[in-house]
Amino acid sequence: MDLETRIRRNKARVGIVGIGYVGLPLCVEIPRAGFPTVGIDVDKSKVTAVSKGRSYIEDVPSRDIKDVVDRGLLEATTDYRACSRCDVINICVPTPFTASKDPDVSFIEDAGRRVARHMRKGQLIILRSTTYPETTESVLLPILEGKGRKVGRDFHLAFVPERVDPGNKTFTTRTTPVVVGGVTAKCTRLASAFYRQVVDNVFPVSSPRVAEMSKLLENIFRSVNIALVNELAQMCERMGNIDIWEVVAAASTKPFGFMPFYPGPGIGGHCILIDPYYLAWKAREYDFHSNFIELAAQTNESMPYRVADRLLEVLGTNDIPASRAKLLLLGAAFKRDVEDTRHSPAIKVMEILLDKVKRIDYHDPYVPELDINGRKFRSRRLTRAALRAADCVVVLTDHSCFDYDTILKESRLILDARNAIKRRGRKKLYTLGFRPVRR
């Protein structure tokens, strides 16, 4: 039975290399589609958790992991020799950047070498890690083609960008369309056939580099538009008596040609912050300088500093010396209703303020503890007494579980960097993108 037939009959055995934020959801959806699956990771704690039916990612309930484990459809191991038993292998490893904002594809290279040691003829390899165009063909393909192997003849290779949106209950792994770009036409056909068994919609494209670029476009689109509104927010503050939140609401009444984006303390997570730098780095190889894209990324990265400066302004306006100020920061995750703190702007704000104020406490029901610059912090209970004790309460992540009425009532001063409270006319409430000026 050839690979395509095994895929269409749900007989193919599937490997998932890297069972983190991208790989773990696949450890549920692929077995649910009927494919026997093995998760492979160098992290023994993740392997142990999966083997026991426990999840370590909020969006993936433990009951879902346990269900497919108990049905014998999912196992986990640290042993890459399991790759030899697989017909389809998904590589879902991290792609961070270096301190100098250059791409770090060492995880892809390491995973590729480990997979290559245990490859057999006819396998389909799918790279799912977000990366710059040409990575699949210039980084991973040469590794896999070692020992005389040839893509399209001895194995098949495709890129399928991940589209995980932490906390999104509407668009899940199954309901979010996937883009598929194979090195050869047959690679594309096989990868598309596989994912049509797993997700609702598949969109094939002509090459891996098109698929890679499409992923970067999705995230850079958001980065640029968020940067635009962050810059306009600062302009509104400078001009006075123009509320950027009211401006966006007004512009949003146009039924065509406008999409609302909102200011905030910065962007976080894995993709939107990193992807502009991945593309800018690759563009320089072609003597092309993506100034517009890089400027947007720099604008967004500057926002935690702007929030810190705005807080110091608020303290000064209310005659509170920063050196004696006690702050209560609400939210540490990078976005609403998730536990993910990767590149969180809230944490960056905390880092900036540590040596500028007397005391910082934080509350986040999703993030019980933090280590910031070697200092340990634990989320404190959000009580009326805690709100009253703070010289200023700062909303950095707008979790839906926060009682904003109580926060407004009990706090002495509030800087709401997310416009979560959405009330004006209160002397103690300040936001980004609005500064009242008496004329």
Give the tokens for residue 209.
Answer: 């580099």
Element (H, E) at 156: strand 155-159
- Asked whether 131 and 92 are in contact (CB, 8 A), the reply is no
DSSP 317-362: HTT--GGG-EEEEE--SSSTT----TT-HHHHHHHHHTTTSSEEEE
Q: What are the backbone dihedrals phi and psi of residue 161, each rounded to the nearest 5 degrees, phi first?
A: -65, 140
CA distances from 269 to 175, 211, 223, 332 (A): 21, 21, 12, 12
| Spatial distance between the Cα atoms of 213 and 55, rounded to a whole number of angstroms | 31
CA 249 – CA 25 distance, rounded (Å):
35
Buried b (16+ CB within 10 A) or exposed e, 259-289: eebbbbbbbbbbbbbbbbbbbbbbbeeeeee
Catalytic residue (choose from 83, 86, 92, 271): 271
The span from the CA of 171 to the CA of 48, in Å, is 28
Task: Give CA 174 to chain center in angstroms.
Answer: 18
Annotated catalytic, 187?
no
- Residue 90 phi/psi, 5° resolution? -100, 125
How many angstroms separate the CA atoms of 302 and 87, rounded?
A: 46
CA distances from 61 to 94, 162, 190 (A): 22, 19, 30
- The catalytic residue positions are 271
